[in-house]
Amino acid sequence: MRIESVSVESCRLPPSSPWEDATNKVDGLEWFFVELRTDNGLVGTGISYTVDVGGTAIQALIEDYLAPLVIGRNPLEYEALWQTLQRQSRRLGLGANSMAVAAIDVAVWDLIGKQYKQPLWRLLGGARARIPAYISEIKLTAEDTLDDLLHRVDDYIAQGYHAMKMKIGRDDLDEDIERIRCVKEKLGRGGKLMVDLNQKWTAAEARSKAARLDNLGLTWIEEPMLWNDIASHRALRQAVRTPIALGESLYSKSQFLQYLQSEAVDIVQADIAFVGGITEWVKVAHLAETFGKPVAPHFLMELSLQLLCGVSNGLMLENVIGGSLTELGLLAEPIRVEGAMGVPSERPGHGIVLDMAAIRAHKLTPAVVRSSFKGGSK
């Protein structure tokens, strides 16, 4: 089996429900979809994304530099392919190149599943046939009242969810604490509540503010400080009982290894797109397992579902309100979480079937970006 052609489609569209957290307001999600066609008639579909910025550069990197490197290659040799793509793009650092590599790597794994007629989750180990899911909100606007929040929590509970993640990081910590306590009461005994700061706090703030959260029974505190401050995360983890979760801002297994060796993280949240695809993500998951840590990947619900069911240390599936491919209307066959339980498809490969007409209706072009991009970082 050899790869004969590579094609790329991309789109930019807003989340289906507005996103705002303590450090960002998101205007657009930029998606990349790669098709690898082989000489035996199989087609592998790859998926990657970025939030707000960099999409046109990533698409150009795939089309102009990376795609020619895989023509004529055997997709079953996924490790050799990944190493080629990573080494040829490494001078860009880590970030945009990882997202570009991921799109091709995911398509390679889709081909492997189709070649062997197995769903991806079983190909990666088949650790379980379903995974618990939690609802994840990105809604920290000044206008969002406590009553608004609690009405949404009632709706999540009606859908079967008893695990939820909410954004915190208001200027007044007492407001965050009141919201946390009220949501915890709604979720009841056995409910799980996680909070996400999106790197809002300084190290000094984290020491004092996390201590006030420590008796609230939170399942984890996510991204409390800047992603690269390993020493402060270690100090915080030693100072509080509440687990520390992070990983969406890390781009390689070596970065995760630094956190794990420093005992600075409890829950590993590697993002499939940001680490360069499935090949690297699985290595991160196995690395976390070596240190006795669970994985709860960031975002990409439809793809994360497959990977979580493949590895033995999968914890929970994140279902982000407003951000799934299904909610965005980009799938020909929607993939939904029913009763707060994710069940992966038995279709060979990753089981994700795109709606190309919907994708092309939101085509990403330089002109679109130049006319609309305002920047959402606070």
Q: To which residue do tokens 């390689």 refer?
A: 252
Provide the domain count of the chain. 2
> Does position 112 have pLDDT exceeding 90, yes or no?
yes
Task: Assign residue 250 the CATH number of its domain.
Answer: 3.20.20.120
> Does position 208 have pLDDT exceeding 90, yes or no?
yes
Q: To which residue do tokens 């150009």 refer?
A: 60
Residue 82 and residue 101 in contact, taking contact as beta carbons nearer than 8 Å: yes
Q: Is residue 296 part of a domain?
A: yes
Kindly state whether residues 131 and 82 are assigned to the same domain: no
Q: Is residue 376 part of a domain?
A: no
Per-chain mean pLDDT for the chain: 97
Q: What is the DSSP letter of 91?
A: G
Q: Mean pLDDT across the stretch 176-200?
A: 97
Kindly state whether residues 175 and 212 are assigned to the same domain: yes
Q: Mean pLDDT across the stretch 255-268?
A: 98
What is the Cα–Cα distance from 99 to 106, expressed in whole angstroms?
A: 11
* Predicted confidence (pLDDT) per residue in 210-234, tens digit: 999 999 999 999 999 999 999 999 9
Kindly state whether residues 53 and 112 are assigned to the same domain: yes
- Apex 36 CA angle, 31 and 37, nearest 5: 145
> What is the per-residue pLDDT for 373?
87
Kindly state whether residues 112 and 156 are assigned to the same domain: no
In one-letter notation, the amino acid at residue 359 is I
What is the Cα–Cα distance from 199 to 348, expressed in whole angstroms?
A: 38
Q: Is residue 83 part of a domain?
A: yes
Kindly state whether residues 129 and 256 are assigned to the same domain: yes
What is the Cα–Cα distance from 132 to 317, expressed in whole angstroms?
A: 6
Kindly state whether residues 135 and 87 are assigned to the same domain: no
Q: Mean pLDDT across the stretch 96-101?
A: 97
DSSP string, 187-231: H-TT-EEEEE-TT-S-HHHHHHHHHHHTTS--SEEE--S-TT-HH
Q: Is residue 26 part of a domain?
A: yes
* Predicted confidence (pLDDT) per residue in 281-338, tens digit: 999 999 999 999 999 999 999 999 999 999 999 999 999 999 999 999 999 999 999 9
Kindly state whether residues 199 and 276 are assigned to the same domain: yes
Kindly state whether residues 139 and 111 are assigned to the same domain: no
The CB density around residue 188, as the number of other CB atoms within 10 Å, is: 9
Kindly state whether residues 93 and 185 are assigned to the same domain: no
The CB density around residue 231, as the number of other CB atoms within 10 Å, is: 10
Domain of 183, in residue numbers: 121-342
Q: Is residue 374 part of a domain?
A: no
Q: What percent of the chain has pLDDT over 90?
A: 97
